[in-house]
Structure 1
Amino acid sequence: DGVSITDGEKLTATDVAFTYNTLKSTSSVNDFTMLDSVQAVDDTTVVFHMKRAYSIWPYTMAIVGIVPEHAYGADYGEHPIGSGRYIMKQWDRGQQVIFEANPDYYGEAPKMKKVTVLFMEEDAAFAAVQSGQVDLAYTAASYSDQTISGYDLLSFETVDNRGFNLPAIAAGGSDANGNPIGNDFTADVRVRRAINIAIDRDEMIENVLSGYGSPAYSVCDKMPWYNNAAETKYDANGAKALLEEAGWTEGNDGIREKDGKKAGFTLMYPAGDSVRQALAADTANQLKEIGIDVKTEGVGWDTAYDRAQAEPLMWGWGAHTPMELYNIYHTMKDTGLAEYSPYSNESVDHYMDEALASSSLEESYELWKKAQWDGETGITEQGDIPWIWLVNIDHLYWAKSDLAVAQQKLHPHGHGWSIVNNVDQWSWK
């Protein structure tokens, strides 16, 4: 009751029903196939009719912003309105967006009355801090050893992990668009296991992240559905033994060989991301110690997605939902493989399907854990290990010393944006 859109119109259950019914048939970002229809019973009551049980529905529905039906049209994305804490007053594409507090907000009034978000690359953001032009800026670990007068370095724990895929099938195939799939070297599970235990994650955190991070062993570290069977210890000798068992013997130059071929691959990273570049370089250095030659290459996202099905790519993942696990490891119906691994395991699929069909999220936790490792099969070191997880990066920000940033929850993946989720609660000291 008593909630209005920023144009003065009343927000009703009809707007909620409109939003989800529209998303159900148009969204290419989120999966709403489990939703049958949404009904507005009266102005303040909404009923969701589901096609099937879906244990993570609360997560799926909670990230949706409600769109007022009367205001929706072709240009809504350029001029959005809603009932939230802030009004978007100005958007200069690629440069900045300005928000002002909604004076008619139904909840507690925002303490911060105006928020201007500037879109900057790492170097420009750091320069803006040095010149005192911004109040807060996301920064990379490579800048963390600096001292800037009038600013403090804030560090927040995350589930924002970095890791790379290892194509788990042999080369030779292609996808529907003709892009190659598979990699002969990484198709051997012994090679993938060797790579996983050859990574000294603590060294990587210290050298690449300046200590601002934690070891990553899965895509769901620190979450209630995390299976600690994913944890491994650094074991270079064990990694060498696995490679020997797989037939890869050390050559005169220290790089292993088999059937006239060198052990190695190209590890791509998104060009312009200094942290992923450094992680890729450190991975290459560490794997060289066990006789694997890794060449690193900065690429654009326009080509990275296509090439990643055959070559490893340094990714960033991490969310407050087990759907992240599903999206990475579950077999896709149209291809018969999990995307980017590429990979497929019927048992893993079954556990995740059963987890989604559970009557509650809490009830599904053990099934998500079994999908990772059930004692016989899974996606951990003992199992198929189609992904190598390296680190969970801390989110770092330069903040003016007189700015009081509200207490943060565990940040998900997302460069810079997570911190503003509660910007309405920030204040000046």
Structure 2
Amino acid sequence: MQAGRAPQGGAQASTKQLGTAAAFSAQPDITRRGFLGTLVGGCAWALLATSLSGCTADKADEAVVVEEISAKDGSQKPSQIIVTMTPGSEPPAGFDPFVSWGCGEHVHEPLIQSTLITTNTDLSFKNDLATSYSCSDDGLTWTFTIRDDVVFSDGEPLTAQDVAFTINSIATFDGAEADLSMVNEAQAPDDTTVVITLNKPFNALLYTLAVVGIVPEHAYGEEYGSNPIGSGRYMLEQWDRGQQVILRANPLYYGEAPNIERVVVAFMAEDASLAAAQAGQVDVAYTSATLAAAQPAGYNLVNCASVDSRGISLPCVPSGSTLVEEGDMVYDVGNDVTCDQAIRQAINFGVDRDLLVEQVLNGYGSPAFSVSDGMPWASNDMQVTTDVARAQALLDEAGWELGSDGIREKNGLRASFVLWYMAGDSVRQGLAEAFATQMHDLGIEVVVQGASFDDIYPHQYTDPVLWGWGSNSPTEIYNLTYSDGWGNFAQYKSTEVDGYLDEALACVEVENSFDYWKKAQWDGESGIAPQGAATWVWLANIDHLYYVRDGLHLAEQKPHPHGHGWSLVNNVDQWDWLG
């Protein structure tokens, strides 16, 4: 339960995004297995179990040259790229949109499949399979007209029936990570028309449809995730589970042929990714703020702006006040310290977000004030300036008095709570510990506790938890704020805020909904903002960092959502080698 289930949305990508590319020294393409065989036979892959210093360039240079893939213009510049991603980026169920491919925790364009619509770099909508679409005045019926010239990679035509099959299957599949629960039914009255009826107005459906890949009804089965057939820009050439994925340009694709013919994605740990770049084995290697200074020769450090936010949920109700049921699970709810609004507001005004970015992220990030900073639906009223004096005054006025040990008390209750974070994540640990230090200066004791999510989930409604969120869709606000939202860990319930959220989703034109999203955050008197209910304290937005080989030009990036992975290659077909 990290990123929201809906896709991206928002502002222009940061100018930090791309570095200046230098002259490129061409790398030959390698065998399908040669690349990972090199990493395993060398020691970049073995860094999962050994230290970085144990790897040598001599072993890392054992790649076998097999073929040159020329660019589509006939030049001899290479048309293959090798990209590293986190092990968690590998889709556990394969390349199946019915489960999580494209629309799971780490939202991205599905590449192998086409979508009805997609988004520009400013996250405005544009057509993909659709040639036009409209919504009824009551917001309950969406009608799409689709292209009549699209075929799947097996040569069979794509029709509206395939679109309806995809949407209905996801809407009725309990294991689907794409949220299409608002869909009543999708129908195909003819081969080029799709009619989607909803059980409630929900214009943010468009953001989800922008990442839901359309699958062929005739070819879908239990093995689809391992052997996908699609109509997208690429086809699956090979998948070595736990190691790599190789994508190849789809010769039957209806759009412009990709600049990059083959995309090799290698899944590896962060230190192995660095070693692979240092050995010159990869073209793009993900990294983090803690390793960014170790920039390998021949690579630029590319900094992609994101809405990959880190924030802490703050339970708003007293302990034992209610229970939340999720399936067959029943959770205790409430916290007697954070249920005091003065505590939550003081935390929001007392935390120094700039210092967190500087100390924990080495400057590779930005202060976070909401789950959707920079998006057109984000309210400026969520942004607050660090004001320790105001924070202390709020606590004083609420009766939280400093004790002899420097921790405040009220009616015998210490201002103390446990803060959970995902163990093994150095950024979350660093943020949690630095946050705890800052809170101590306010007289609030924060006991930091790292654990697996399996161990964290029983505490998600009773204790503050440091989460990672962020998507390019306003539904992130809905999920975290609506009274019955599946991510409402604070258990904040407001009929007024719910009303704004319902109004936002009922707007026929998405652009007309933005003001309602903002009012749910703060309408001048109430909302979830720091000066209001303060249901969360947002800390930082994490920049996504990559080492990019000199001479490789990345196309302009959309703001990256939560997850350091596939979002980078949304437009890999538009990348190019310079020179």
Q: TM-score, normalised by structure 2?
A: 0.71
What pairs up with 1:343-354 in 2 under 5 angstroms? 343-354=492-503
Q: Following TM superposition, by how much is the alpha carbon of 1:338 offset from its aligned partner in structure 2, in angstroms?
A: 6.2
The residue aligned with 1:8 is 155
The residue aligned with 1:363 is 512
The residue aligned with 2:339 is 187
**Partners of 1:275 and 1:208 in 2: CA distance:** 7
Q: Is 1:130 aligned to residue 275 of structure 2? A: no
Q: Which residue identity does 2:473 align to in structure 1?
A: T
Structure 1 residue ranges without an equivalent (≥5): none
Q: Following TM superposition, by how much is the alpha carbon of 1:262 offset from its aligned partner in structure 2, in angstroms?
A: 2.8
**Partners of 1:126 and 1:277 in 2: CA distance:** 21
Q: TM-score, normalised by structure 1?
A: 0.95
**Partners of 1:195 and 1:399 in 2: CA distance:** 39
1:143 to 291, 296, 299: 291
The residue aligned with 2:128 is none
* Distance change (3 Å), C-alpha of 1:338 and 1:318: closer
Q: Is 1:306 aligned to residue 467 of structure 2? A: no
Q: Is 1:24 aligned to residue 176 of structure 2? A: no
2:430 to 270, 278, 295: 278
Does the aligned pair in 1 maintain the 2:180–2:205 contact within 8 Å?
A: no
What pairs up with 1:3-402 in 2 under 5 angstroms? 3-27=150-174, 28-172=176-320, 173-176=322-325, 177-332=329-484, 339-402=488-551
Q: Following TM superposition, by how much is the alpha carbon of 1:94 offset from its aligned partner in structure 2, in angstroms?
A: 2.4
* Distance change (3 Å), C-alpha of 1:31 and 1:416: closer
Does the aligned pair in 1 maintain the 2:308–2:562 contact within 8 Å?
A: yes
Residue deviations 1:329-358 (CA, integer Å, cap 9, x gap): 00118xxx9631122111111110111112
Q: Following TM superposition, by how much is the alpha carbon of 1:257 offset from its aligned partner in structure 2, in angstroms?
A: 2.5
Q: Which residue identity does 1:415 align to in structure 2?
A: H
Residue deviations 1:32-81 (CA, integer Å, cap 9, x gap): 34333222233223232344432222212222100100111122122222
2:571 is paired with a residue whose SS is: helix
**Partners of 2:514 and 2:508 in 1: CA distance:** 11
Does the aligned pair in 2 maintain the 1:180–1:309 contact within 8 Å?
A: yes
Q: Following TM superposition, by how much is the alpha carbon of 1:286 offset from its aligned partner in structure 2, in angstroms?
A: 1.0
Q: Which residue identity does 2:515 align to in structure 1?
A: E
Does the aligned pair in 2 maintain the 1:198–1:235 contact within 8 Å?
A: yes
1:142 is paired with a residue whose SS is: coil
Does the aligned pair in 2 maintain the 1:338–1:344 contact within 8 Å?
A: no
**Partners of 1:190 and 1:38 in 2: CA distance:** 48
Q: Percent identity?
A: 52
Structure 2 residue ranges without an equivalent (≥5): 1-147
Of Structure 1 and Structure 2, the greater helix share is in: 1
2:264 is paired with a residue whose SS is: strand
**Partners of 2:172 and 2:370 in 1: CA distance:** 33
Aligned length: 426
**Partners of 1:93 and 1:281 in 2: CA distance:** 36
**Partners of 1:174 and 1:49 in 2: CA distance:** 33
**Partners of 1:76 and 1:100 in 2: CA distance:** 17
**Partners of 2:259 and 2:491 in 1: CA distance:** 48
1:11 is paired with a residue whose SS is: coil
Residue deviations 1:358-408 (CA, integer Å, cap 9, x gap): 221111111111111111110001210111111111111111112211111
2:458 is paired with a residue whose SS is: helix
2:566 to 398, 417, 426: 417
1:118 is paired with a residue whose SS is: strand
1:407 to 556, 565, 577: 556
Residue deviations 1:78-136 (CA, integer Å, cap 9, x gap): 22220011111222222221111112211111111111112222222222222222211
Q: Following TM superposition, by how much is the alpha carbon of 1:237 offset from its aligned partner in structure 2, in angstroms?
A: 1.5
2:427 is paired with a residue whose SS is: helix
2:290 is paired with a residue whose SS is: helix
**Partners of 1:222 and 1:42 in 2: CA distance:** 41
